[in-house]
Amino acid sequence: MPRARDTRPRHQQIAAELRDLIMRGELSPGTQLPSTTQLVKQYNAANATIQHALKALKDEGFLDSRVGKGVYVRDRKPFVIDAAAYITPTPGRFRYQLLTVDTIAPPADIVDGLQLAPGATAIIRTRILFHDEHPVELSASYYPAEIAANSSLARAAKIRGGAPQALTDLGFPQRSFADRISARPPTVEEAETLDLPDGTPVIRQLRVIYSDNERPVEASVLIKGAHLYELLYRQATDAEST
């Protein structure tokens, strides 16, 4: 079986090579990149192609130009998100903006996740997460209307203590969750709302939260720009099985 060929434009291929070096630490923060002339020779590419590749990495926050000095790797650390925790809002750093609260017929994956009966509705709360006033995550959280209607989850206002406290008050404390992680190109709305650089994929995180007796009480779809995040997973291992 013949190997697949990389048919991406040359500037995307070069950007991918440089991005990989930065993410692996081979090009550390503060490192000056070779000159454009050197990169042209190194990658056997036209000057315009190199400039296009560097612009893509600048747009993503990996590189920074210094007038009269050159192009340098920025001290840009990804948001390392522990998959077992939400981001806690912090004054001046992280904040959420509530966009909408509504009662809807949820999409199929949410119906499956919440184990809803045919025709059942859900409360949806959509939000944007900002970091230093830059949009970094879109979220849509769904709650079965049969338990969330007429509660603080159904009102268009911030919830004191957040959704975990609201669910606890309703008698459904959060006990566990399951995540499904995927990556894909963004929709037009996602690209524009998150101000994504051209060609940047998104991480899609579908989280289902369970209460007592494994009852699903919340399903959230979290959309993040893949250039900003790393997801961290920890799992204890059984030494006897190795």
**Amino acid code (one letter) for 219:** A
Please give, one letter per residue, the 3-state secondary structure of 168-191.
Answer: HHCCCCCCEEEEEEEEECCCHHHH
pLDDT higher for 33 or 8? Answer: 33
Pairing between β-strand 229-232 and β-strand 79-82 as defined by DSSP bridges: parallel
Q: What is the pLDDT of residue 23?
A: 83
Pairing between β-strand 63-66 and β-strand 122-131 as defined by DSSP bridges: unpaired
Mean pLDDT estimate for the chain: 89
Give me the mean pLDDT over the 178-192 stretch.
Answer: 91
Q: What is the pLDDT of residue 198?
A: 84
Q: How far is CA 155 from each of CA 40, 43, 87, 123, rounded to the nearest angstrom? A: 57, 56, 22, 10
Give me the mean pLDDT over the 22-46 stretch.
Answer: 92
Least reliable range by pLDDT among 39-43, 88-92, 97-101, 208-212? 88-92
- How does residue 24 score in pLDDT terms, banded at 50, 70 and 90? confident
Question: Mind listing the pLDDT tens digit for each residue in 156-168?
Answer: 998 888 899 999 9
Cα–Cα distance measured from residue 242 to residue 234, given in angstroms and rounded to the nearest whole number: 17
- The number of angstroms, rounded, from the C-alpha of 64 to the middle of its chain's C-alpha atoms is 23
**Are the C-beta atoms of 226 and 181 separated by less than 8 Å?**
no
Residues 6+ apart with CB under 8 A from 39: 14, 33, 45, 50
- Give the closest residue to 209 by CA, choosing from 236, 155, 173, 235: 173
Question: Mind listing the pLDDT tens digit for each residue in 85-109?
Answer: 556 666 667 888 999 999 999 999 9
